[in-house]
Structure formats: structure tokens, C-alpha cells
Amino acid sequence: MQIIYPILFFLISLKWGKWKNWKQYYPTIMFMIIGNLLYSLLFNDYPLWRFEHTFEQELLPTRKSIEILKSFTSFPILTLLFLSYYPEDRNGKKKLLYIIIWALLFVLIEYISESLGMISYHHGWNMWWSLFFDFAMFFILAIHYKHPIIAWIVSGLFILFLWEVFDINFKLLE
């Protein structure tokens, strides 16, 4: 399933993604890739969630190989899809509803993934935290699309918040 998701997301993006705008979306796509790789690096020894092996273990023999696959396939494609229909007008309610829908969609995908043994939770993380995280992630992606510096600052504050809530030891950085 770890390989099937990126293929499925790519096929969906061929139908609904605005690939002609990829250059416009590129900085935010890179922001998403960096964020996921940073999580993978910083939380390697203390994961809050972890992608698990499924039937394709011979193709993806390590968790790092799963992270790399997701970082360079699923997450960029999903970011492109998210930005393809992000409301451009000033209607804050419409933007908020759009972000909520995407957060719920991600939680649904995660629920399916957990049911299939593709993801596991650790150190107090659960589906509710994932919903909160997904909402924050899409909110920050929306900010990054127009105001990248502000998004980096908000991301840093959000990371510090999570480190405090989950009592993460800064020795992980050693």
C-alpha cells in the first residue's frame, strides 16, 4: 500500500491537479518535502507516528525508504492538489472550510492506513493529534503559498509547541 498511495494520488492529480501551475506551487511543495524530511530526521529515535511496512517490504526495506518515497511522491502531489483549488478570494470562511476539508481528508487516509497497519502511533500521539496536526499543516501550507517567511516562523513555533506538549528531549538533536 505504501507504493499504491503515490500511484493513486498521481492518477487523481492527472485529472484534478493544475499541473500548469507547478512552478507557482513549487516553493510550497519544497516546504512540504523539507518539513517531512525534517520530522523524519529529528524524530528518527523518538517517533510520534511511524510509517510501517506492508506487503511491499522487499521494495521498501526500511522506514527511511518509506519516508523518502512519501516525501518525494505523495506529499508533493497532495500539496499540488491542495493548492490547485485553494480559494484565491479574500473569503476567510471559504478558506477555513477548504483547510478543514483537507485535514479531514488526510485523517480519513490516515484512518485507512492505520487500519491496514501502515502507520503506528507512539509517545501519546493518536488520531485526534493527527487531525490537529493536519489542520495546522494545511493552514501553514496556505500561509506559505503567499507568505513563506511567516510560514517558516509559524512552523517553528508549532514545532516548539509539539516538543513541549510531548515532552521531547532536546538531546534528540545530538
* Closest of 163, 141, 146 to residue 34, by C-alpha: 141
* Closest of 103, 108, 36, 39 to residue 76, by C-alpha: 36
| pLDDT given for residue 173 in this prediction | 65
Query: Which residues, listed in sequence order, are joined to residue 120 by a DSSP beta bridge?
Result: 50
- Tens digit of each residue's pLDDT, the chain (174 residues): 678 889 999 999 999 999 999 999 999 999 999 999 988 888 877 889 988 877 666 777 777 888 888 899 999 999 999 999 999 888 899 999 999 999 999 999 999 999 988 899 999 999 999 999 999 999 999 999 999 999 999 999 998 899 889 888 776 666
The CA-based angle 95-129-5, given to 5 degrees, is 75
| pLDDT given for residue 63 in this prediction | 75
| Structural domain boundaries in the chain | 24-173
| pLDDT given for residue 172 in this prediction | 61
Question: In this structure, are residues 83 and 19 in contact, taking their beta carbons and an 8 Å threshold?
Answer: no
- Which residue in this structure is represented by grid cell 500539496? 79
CA max distance for the chain: 48
Task: Please report which helix (H) or strand (E) contains residue 134, including its range.
Answer: helix 127-146
In the three-class reduction of DSSP (H, G, I as helix; E, B as strand; rest coil), residue 41 is classed as helix
Cα–Cα distance, 26 to 148 (Å, whole number): 12
| pLDDT given for residue 1 in this prediction | 64
